[in-house]
Amino acid sequence: MKFSPEKYNIPDVRMRPFIDPDEIWQYINNTKSTKERVNEVIAKSLSKQRLSLEETAILINTDNPELIQLIKEGALKLKEEVYGNRIVLFAPLYIGNKCINNCKYCGFRTDNKDAIRKTLSTLEIINEVQALEEQGQKRLILVFGEHPDYSADFIAQTVETVYSTKKGPGEIRRLNVNAAPLDIEGFRKVKNAGIGTYQIFQETYHPEAYKNYHLSGKKQDYENRIIALDKAQEAGIDDVGIGALFGLYDWRFEVMGLVRHANHLEACYNVGPHTISFPRIKDASSLNLPNEYMVNDSDFGRLVAILRLAIPYTGMILTARESPSLRKEVMKYGISQIDGGTKIEIGAYSQSINEKQNLNKEQFFINDSRSLDEIIEELIDEGFIPSFCTACYRLGRTGEHFMEMSVPGFINKFCTPNAILTLSEYLTDYASETVKEKGWKVIETNSCKIKNPVTAKKLHERISRIKNGEHDLYF
């Protein structure tokens, strides 16, 4: 693939081709996987070192059920060491579905004449945010189609509106963004508005497959898409999120592409992606795609575990595209974030829209439509601590600072107590009686596990203050 960094006004030293399809396929086709090599790779990952493409291929090429189980167990152990037993919760908020792109797999594509287009007004955004705050949400991801109406100025204005909207004890403390690539100046504008992570998914890392799915629009440009997060880094956004849409191409190649992308970012900017997402294709309006590359549940569980081991420090996001039963299963293999109480019809939170999904108003079909309270109850029942923590971002523990702390696993000394404090807030302000009863028990159990006596004392004091009406306490 011929690459032209000057076309995109990016420093040559940072920008060079980092996806070589032939190289990736050579690793997949020629790397042998044995029990000894699998154990060696897992051991390296458990030492908090990211894996090379060859080492990732060793895990990918493992078909032995016993070794696959070892991979999953290693992923679970690694997740517990780096992140503890917390699961961070967020909700998506779709702002507008106008789009100039024609992507075969997306309900928002420009040639879908059945799609009902809408962009939230400022008042409607406020209503949506207040409805989400009344659920107990503290973290959102704003989702935009790619359209001239959704400029960097519009995104920044939306971010400022959301942060300034309060309802009762509720407030949004962390806003991530999933939107089209911007230029460097545009990324600076949204950074100055106070965003957290900027997500841009490559969808598929295979250039020819990419060309086949992206028929027209700015997103048709593979090169521009793949360097977008480099531009974000140049603009000072050190929290970026990558992702692939599984089902567009061979899942083994996409896993390797994600690892290569993560390694590229770390090599060039000293910080890898803050999050990795791995959605699978789901039904969308007027969707008609071949089934050749669809990923079954078994392979999906494998690829999640492999990614967890390949990039130890990176948060892994599992969305409501998946069913409750599959989410429950795959969370064991290293997931650190999920969405809850999800609605993706634009305006659905404030209107309490609960009828059957209308795919002409939504990007894709979701399979987990449970309320936030129901999801929190299940997390507690499964031994997790539901968390709305935003402390690291607000204290500057991002980018290289996050890497310094999370790679060796030190971040856990903040994650568990902060998860407990945010859960305490939720239980005090929003939880059902059943969840309250279960939640205070899980808090008591996990508080007793805090080994540092100073931290344990401060934690108990802050829990008492929250019960007495204080908010936003963290380490």
The reported pLDDT for the residue numbered 15 is 58
Task: Output the average pLDDT for the chain.
Answer: 90
Q: What is the pLDDT of residue 436?
A: 98
Count of C-beta atoms within a 10 Å radius of residue 22: 7
pLDDT above 80: residue 67: yes
Question: Is the pLDDT confidence value at 393 over 80?
Answer: no
Residue 323 has pLDDT above 50, yes or no: yes
Query: Is 344 a residue whose pLDDT tops 80?
Result: yes
Lowest mean pLDDT, pick from 166-175, 360-369, 455-464: 360-369
Name the pLDDT band for 2 (thresholds 50, 70, 90). Answer: very low
Q: 247-261, 331-345, 351-365 — which one is most confidently predicted on average? A: 247-261
The whole model's pTM is what?
A: 0.92
Q: How confident is the model at residue 1 (pLDDT cuts 50, 70, 90)?
A: very low
Domains, the chain: 21-77 (no CATH), 83-370 (3.20.20.70), 412-467 (no CATH)
